[in-house]
Amino acid sequence: MPPKKILIIEDDADVAEAVYEKLTTAGFLVLIAYTGNTGLELYGREKPDLVILDLRLPDMDGLDVCRALQRQRAEEGAKGATPIIMLTARAEETDRIIGLEMGADDYVPKPFSPKELEARVRAVLRRVETARRRPERQVWRAAGIELDEGRHSVRVFSEHCPEGKEVKLTAIEYQLLAVLMRKAGQVVSKEELVDEVWGYDGFSPNLLQIHIGHLRSKIEEDPRHPRRLLTVRSFGYKMAEGPERQAEKGRG
């Protein structure tokens, strides 16, 4: 199997070289772009398996790069989408949240150790591979929601829309909903959600809450008074109804 290809978009040469050395030693094929425009060109030409993106770039805002990558990711299809890990300064909480809302898969605050970043890279790639290798197309139905893992689609049904309305979710929102739908009727702890979606300890509970809030804004009729995705105080979340599952042969 060929090595996974990682694209680093980072203007700080010292940071880029340190990450390059660590990931190359770990067996990855690593490309470096020192500007946003160069990064977008490399992305289109090289089709990397993962992008590490700094939000502070000399020629364009990193969030604009993230938006451009997201547009290209949408053309790749649900299961082919290239994951993005953002690099942010600790004070950039707002940019971090915006980046995650736009579909970035994870973030690493500066300063960081290359070893920590390698662990995040492996966790994200492992999660992507698990999703791609899911052997069956499964359709989950609960709480007036239908999630089709084969088509990577979500439909929400209501009295006002009995035929169902397809909603567009970010990668993280979709993964959160998928975990909750598979375990509908059961309480899922915050720790379990973080482990299932991000694959490592230490993800901020506040950011998890933000993701849940954005997910509710897309699946609830009244997000301030949710009836589908419920909070279980001091523990976690659950879908309101037990699941109905329909498994079909093939990947869809």
pLDDT tens-digit readout, 12-39:
999 999 999 999 999 999 999 999 999 9
For residue 60, the Cα-to-chain-centroid distance in whole angstroms is: 23
**Does residue 29 sit in helix, strand or coil?**
strand
| pLDDT in the model for residue 252 | 36
The sign of the dihedral angle between the CA atoms of 73, 79, 82, 83 is positive
| pLDDT in the model for residue 90 | 58
**Among 117, 107, 109, 49, CA closest to 83:** 49
What are the C-alpha distances in Å from 51 to residues 81, 121, 147, 233?
A: 11, 9, 27, 36
**CA distance linking residue 35 with residue 56, whole number of Å:** 10
What is the percent of the chain where pLDDT is above 70? Answer: 83
Confidence of residue 249 (pLDDT cuts 50, 70, 90): very low
The tokens 């070893």 sit on which residue?
115
| pLDDT in the model for residue 244 | 47
Q: Give me the residue spans of the domains in the chain.
A: 5-132, 137-248
Q: Is the pLDDT of residue 250 over 60?
A: no
Give the pairing of strands 153-156 and 165-166: antiparallel
Residues 6+ apart with CB under 8 A from 76: 82
8-state DSSP, 78: G
Point out the least confidently predicted range of 69-78, 150-159, 175-184: 69-78
**Among 215, 199, 226, 195, CA closest to 83:** 199
| C-beta of residue 172 within 8 angstroms of C-beta of residue 197 | yes
From the CA atom positions of the chain, what is the Rg in Å? 19
**CA distance linking residue 170 with residue 190, whole number of Å:** 19
Correct CATH for 137-248 of 1.10.10.10, 3.20.20.80, 1.10.3720.10, 3.40.50.10300: 1.10.10.10
Greater confidence (36 vs 202) lies with 36
189: which strand partners? 236
116: its two tokens: 């920590």
127-142 pLDDT per residue, tens = 777 766 665 568 899 9
| C-beta of residue 173 within 8 angstroms of C-beta of residue 214 | yes
72-120 pLDDT per residue, tens = 766 665 445 688 998 887 556 677 777 777 777 888 888 888 998 998 8
**CA distance linking residue 201 with residue 176, whole number of Å:** 16
Length, in residues, of the chain: 252
| pLDDT in the model for residue 78 | 47
The mean pLDDT value for 233-241 works out to 89
CB atoms within 10 A of CB 223: 15
**CA distance linking residue 50 with residue 117, whole number of Å:** 12
The correct answer on CATH 3.40.50.2300 for the domain covering 5-132 is yes
Confidence of residue 5 (pLDDT cuts 50, 70, 90): very high
- What residue type is 54 in one-letter code? D
172: its two tokens: 């993280």
107: its two tokens: 């973030």
Greater confidence (151 vs 184) lies with 184
